[in-house]
Amino acid sequence: MDKYIDPPNVAEIVEKIKSLPTIGDIKILADELFPGWLCSTIQEYSNDYPHLDKNWRSVCNSIGVKRALIVLVDFLEFTEKHTLLKMFTESFTRAGFNVRKNSDYVICSNCKCAIPIEIIWNIFKEKNYKVPLKWSKTCTYCRK
Residues of the shown chain interacting with Zn ion in the complex, contacts defined by CB under 5 A? 108, 110-111, 139, 142
Beta carbon of residue 114, minimum distance to Zn ion (angstroms, whole number)? 10
Q: Which is nearer to Zn ion, 42 or 76 (CB)?
A: 42
Q: Which is nearer to Zn ion, 71 or 115 (CB)?
A: 115
Q: Which is nearer to Zn ion, 108 or 120 (CB)?
A: 108
Beta carbon of residue 116, minimum distance to Zn ion (angstroms, whole number)? 13
Q: Which is nearer to Zn ion, 46 or 91 (CB)?
A: 46
Spatial separation of the C-alpha atoms in residues 80 and 31, rounded to whole Å? 21
Burial (CB count <10 Å: 0-12, 13-18, 19+), residue 4: buried
Beta carbon of residue 47, minimum distance to Zn ion (angstroms, whole number)? 8
Residue 50 has φ and ψ, to the nearest 5°, of -60, -25
Beta carbon of residue 99, minimum distance to Zn ion (angstroms, whole number)? 22
Beta carbon of residue 31, minimum distance to Zn ion (angstroms, whole number)? 29
Q: Which is nearer to Zn ion, 87 or 108 (CB)?
A: 108
Spatial separation of the C-alpha atoms in residues 111 and 108, rounded to whole Å? 6
